Amino acid sequence: EMDPQERAFQERIDAGEKIEPKEWMPDGYRKNLIRQIGQHAHSEIVGQLPEGNWITRAPTLERKAILLAKVQDEAGHGLYLYCAAETLGVSRDELFEMLHEGKMKYSSIFNYPTLTWADMGAVGWLVDGAAIMNQVPLQRTSYGPYARAMIRICKEESFHQRQGFDIMMKMANGTAAQKRMAQDALDRFWYPALMMFGPSDKDSVHSAQSMAWKIKMNTNDELRQKFVDQTVPQAEYLGLTVPDNDLKKNEETGHYDFTQPDWAEFFDVLKGNGPCNADRMAARKEAWDGGAWVREAMAAHAAKKKAAKLA
């Protein structure tokens, strides 16, 4: 049974009001948001690693400049989201400590390797495509700072997806070897991209409560279906084949029937057994330790400036 304060809060949520940092909120709402926003931010930061690997290997200066801009955008998305998480009373240091100690997650997609340049196309097209599918509804989430961060992030995401699709177009219409690379990238990224939407609704731990609090606006399966319906025609346009022999348009529902990802693989990757989990964590810890002197210097400088102002 809800106590009066929680009932009043739920009425605000149901009325579509935005909850702001200084306002009362149930502890569960705060904890759920720290979890989701923190992991969203970690996904942006860890997500820079697979693409970062190709900045020095881009085939042309133009592609290098585009990829550099995209990876820098992701860093910025991470910072907006860490700022949103900090408004809930958690520090960035705590969030990073929980990530490094395996107490917080990041999107499993980033535990897969980027083996060829075509992967830069598949990541932009499929991973950013899935991220957009998930982030657009989150612009209407009930927590003010999170909704506003999403509005800014969504503005930049469409460029991420377009540049990826452009790479896929170039390669799918290129030499036979390039087309094979594009098909290989689609084969390797299709199911991990479907996993980005989370487990099936029946296995979703947070969906019911998150949707009641408008921390989540759609169910995992709903967005996954939307992503498949939008992406299959794009694959056909590229002349590529989605690696799912049972994929077919259901004339009754108007949706594509498709094969679910391998959920055993999904939970195994979440447990840390994906191809790149160890590398990603090592890279993040090294970056965090390597950047300590910058954080300390900035803090010392800020303290000196503050002292000078007070003097």
State the residues that interact with ligand 3HC by CB under 6 A.
35-36, 39-40, 43-44, 47, 74, 77, 105, 107-108, 127-128, 131, 134, 195-199, 204-207, 210, 216, 220, 270
Q: Which is nearer to ligand 3HC, 92 or 179 (CB)?
A: 92
Q: Which is nearer to ligand 3HC, 177 or 205 (CB)?
A: 205
How far apart are CB 156 and ligand 3HC at their closest, in Å? 9
Q: Which is nearer to ligand 3HC, 108 or 114 (CB)?
A: 108
What is d(CA 83, CA 77) in angstroms, rounded to the nearest whole number? 10
How far apart are CB 217 and ligand 3HC at their closest, in Å? 9
How far apart are CB 307 and ligand 3HC at their closest, in Å? 39
Q: Which is nearer to ligand 3HC, 148 or 179 (CB)?
A: 148
How far apart are CB 287 and ligand 3HC at their closest, in Å? 17
Q: Which is nearer to ligand 3HC, 68 or 270 (CB)?
A: 270
Q: Which is nearer to ligand 3HC, 146 or 256 (CB)?
A: 146
How far apart are CB 235 and ligand 3HC at their closest, in Å? 19
Three-state DSSP string of the chain? CCCHHHHHHHHHHHCCCCECCCCCCCHHHHHHHHHHHHHHHHHHHHCHHHHHCCHHHCCCHHHHHHHHHHHHHHHHHHHHHHHHHHCCCCCHHHHHHHHHCCCCCCCHHHHCCCCCCHHHHHHHHHHHHHHHHHHHHHCCCCEHHHHHHHHHHHHHHHHHHHHHHHHHHHHHCCCHHHHHHHHHHHHHHHHHHHHCCCCCHHHCCCHHHHHHCCCCCCCHHHHHHHHHHHHHHHHHHHCCCCCCCCCEECCCCCCEECCCCCHHHHHHHHHHHCCCHHHHHHHHHHHHHHCHHHHHHHHHHHHHHHHHHHC
How far apart are CB 282 and ligand 3HC at their closest, in Å? 18
- Give residue 262's region: left, alpha or beta (phi > 0; psi -120 to 50): beta
How far apart are CB 116 and ligand 3HC at their closest, in Å? 19
Q: Which is nearer to ligand 3HC, 268 or 302 (CB)?
A: 268
